[in-house]
Structure 1
Amino acid sequence: MKDIARVSLPGLHKSSGGFKSARQVLIIDGRGHLLGRLAAIVAKQVLLGRKVVVVRCEGINISGNFYRNKLKYLAFLRKRMNTNPSRGPYHFRAPSRIFWRTVRGMLPHKTKRGQAALERLKVFDGIPPPYDKRKRMVVPAALKIVRLKPTRKFAFLGRLAHEVGWKYQAVTATLEEKRKEKAKIHYNKKKIIVKLRKQAEKNVESKISKYTDVLKQYGILV
């Protein structure tokens, strides 16, 4: 729970009934996180009653070199019902679904409690609306740069998914480029507005100094 506090949103509190707030949705950017560590933390949070959205699942990392991870997944693909493969087990190809299945394996998903927890989880490839305009969090305890030595090999979930049958790698990449262009324009506008606001505050500073002194006296302004 110490690690979760690093990603807690303001306005949330934990009670006996889980997290209760209108702002209880936690949006996590999956890029640069390790698959298993992120899945474990997400699984715990949805069990506690928190709604979690994980975006950019194609950017999730897996420790170990790519070829080794691909062999593991190909071995997993061979596990099927001999007489009627359509009855399962089902092998997801999209990075978001691979992550979803990893989380499902960490939940008691055959019980009502586990099913309810799984319904609180949403996963996406790329960052679709409305999450492209929402603040996204990271989980320090699951970051590859924190948990893996710099010399260790790792693989991207997006590349692995593409090589085992995911057909939307190029489409997702194109949509991400468009999103980044829009985000860049928005950021530049925001910088200009912040600069103008600071200038406006500076212009009226001498006129409102007596009021700000009173506000500081009562601890309203710091």
Structure 2
Amino acid sequence: MFQPILIDGRGHLLGRLASIIAKTLLCGNRVVVVRTEQINISGNFFRSKLKYLSFLRKRCNVNPARGPFHFRAPSKILYRTVRGMVPHKLERGKAALRRLKLYEGVPPPYDKRKRLVVPSAMRVMCLKPGRAYCHLGRLSHEVGWKYQSVVRALETKRKVRAVFAIRKRNQLKVIRTCNILLFFSIYLPLYLLCVPGSWYVFGLFNMFRKLSELIIQN
């Protein structure tokens, strides 16, 4: 199975990102979007909140439990936006939506993987500098989403763990570099002096020494 396309939602515009996700899903790819609470919406916050409050008033007069259902979580808002861009009542659209996974924050299976961005949907590429925009997480919090503080705390812990992981990786890289230098500067020349026919091996030594320098530079 192919690996799903992992997208970091931070800094993307809601509608533009949803349109690209919808097309990608209909092409048969699996898509995972993390940090949906950091998605942006063009226009100031008050305007976006008024639009969503107007959406909350749309309901069935006979029995409101029949729908429409008003999602508050950022991942669900993005899901509904994508759903409106695919034929979700047909089998093709239902299968496409089953290939979509959305998360607030970065859960453990995806915090170790490289995350991608969509340049044509980035806010800095689409909006003029100084234009008003708001965050989807703040809008969700204002209309009833209850887990903003929880996601924020988990994200803080994840970033701290990531800093320690980077430090450990850099330390291991330094240790590996020192071991390579030690081997080619001390141990290998001593071995060549003790082995007969070392002039032939000495050429190999020079080749390996140059190779080690390339490894260290990278």
Task: Please report the RMSD computed on the Cα atoms of aligned residues, expressed in angstroms.
Answer: 1.8
Determine the structure 2 residue equivalent to 1:122.
101
Q: Percent identity?
A: 58
TM-score by length of 2: 0.83
Question: How far apart, CA to CA, are the structure 1 residues paired with 2:123 and 2:182?
Answer: 46
Query: 1:194 offset after TM fit, Å?
Result: 2.3
Query: 1:147 offset after TM fit, Å?
Result: 1.2
Question: How far apart, CA to CA, are the structure 1 residues paired with 2:99 and 2:4?
Answer: 9
Question: How far apart, CA to CA, are the structure 2 residues paired with 1:175 and 1:124?
Answer: 13
Query: Could you say if the C-alpha distance between residues 102 and 185 of structure 1 is closer, same or farther in structure 2, counting changes exceeding 3 Å?
Result: same
Deviations 1:11-35 (A, max 9, x none): xxxxxxxxxxx34311111011110
Query: 1:37 offset after TM fit, Å?
Result: 0.7
In the TM superposition, 1:154-173 aligns within 5 A as 154-173=133-152
Instruction: Determine if the alignment matches structure 1 residue 187 to structure 2 residue 166.
Output: yes
TM-score by length of 1: 0.82
Of 75, 80, 90, which aligns to 1:111?
A: 90
Determine the structure 2 residue equivalent to 1:217.
none
Query: 1:101 offset after TM fit, Å?
Result: 0.6
Query: Could you say if the C-alpha distance between residues 83 and 193 of structure 1 is closer, same or farther in structure 2, counting changes exceeding 3 Å?
Result: same
SS in 2 for 1:73: helix
Question: How far apart, CA to CA, are the structure 1 residues paired with 2:183 and 2:24?
Answer: 47
In the TM superposition, 1:71-220 aligns within 5 A as 71-204=50-183, 208-211=205-208
Point out the more displaced range, 126-135 or 94-103. 126-135
The one-letter code matched in structure 1 to 2:85 is M
The one-letter code matched in structure 1 to 2:160 is E
Question: How far apart, CA to CA, are the structure 1 residues paired with 2:173 and 2:122?
Answer: 31
Query: 1:155 offset after TM fit, Å?
Result: 0.4
Query: 1:196 offset after TM fit, Å?
Result: 2.8
Determine the structure 1 residue equivalent to 2:197.
none
